[in-house]
């Protein structure tokens, strides 16, 4: 395990968390050989905050994250990632919707590419982006996880 690498046990498998000083730099689903059981006791405060927020998210009580993140990419990718943060919990948008929302309506494939390069899944909720036909498409953690996350969120949306 790397110096700034920690594991979080979620209902859909282990999540590998990485950080630099006071910011989360990666949140990846981990399908490798099981590391030692997650122990965040000596983890940096940002990792502990992220784990606490993930507890709230998977507990159905947290709808948005406040932990500091650093998801370095191109200007275009960063625009796409900021747009991800505007998709409400329990809702979805198409790649085309996302392209329009960032003022680049013809950049549908580029939006998909930016989502693919998102290193901080769940917090930057790329799982909420679906195909124009409503079908689930591409997800680095596997389509079964994307489906699980979307169904989970729909089940925890407060109906007004």
Query: Which of the residues are catalytic?
Result: 126
**CA-to-CA distance for 95 and 92, rounded, in angstroms?**
10
Do β-strands 93-94 and 129-130 pair in parallel, antiparallel, or remain unpaired? parallel
Interatomic CA distance for residues 127 and 146, integer angstroms: 5
β pairing state of 13-20 and 23-29: antiparallel
86, 53 Cβ separation under 8 angstroms: no
Measured in residues, the chain has a length of 160
């Amino acid at each position: 395990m790397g110096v700034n690498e920690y594991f979080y046990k979620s209902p859909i498998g282990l999540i590998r968390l990485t950080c630099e000083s006071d910011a989360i730099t990666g949140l990846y689903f981990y399908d490798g050989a099981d590391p030692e059981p997650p122990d965040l006791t000596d983890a940096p405060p940002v990792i502990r905050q992220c784990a606490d927020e993930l507890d709230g998210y998977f507990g159905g009580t947290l709808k948005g994250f406040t932990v500091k993140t650093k998801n370095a990419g191109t200007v275009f990718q960063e625009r796409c990632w900021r747009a991800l943060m505007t998709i409400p919990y329990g809702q979805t948008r198409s790649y085309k919707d996302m392209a329009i929302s960032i003022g680049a309506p013809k950049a549908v494939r580029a939006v998909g590419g930016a989502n693919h390069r998102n290193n901080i899944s769940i917090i930057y909720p790329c799982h909420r982006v679906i195909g124009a036909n409503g079908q689930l498409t591409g997800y680095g953690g596997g389509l079964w996880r994307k489906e699980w996350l979307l169904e989970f969120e729909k089940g925890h949306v407060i109906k007004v």
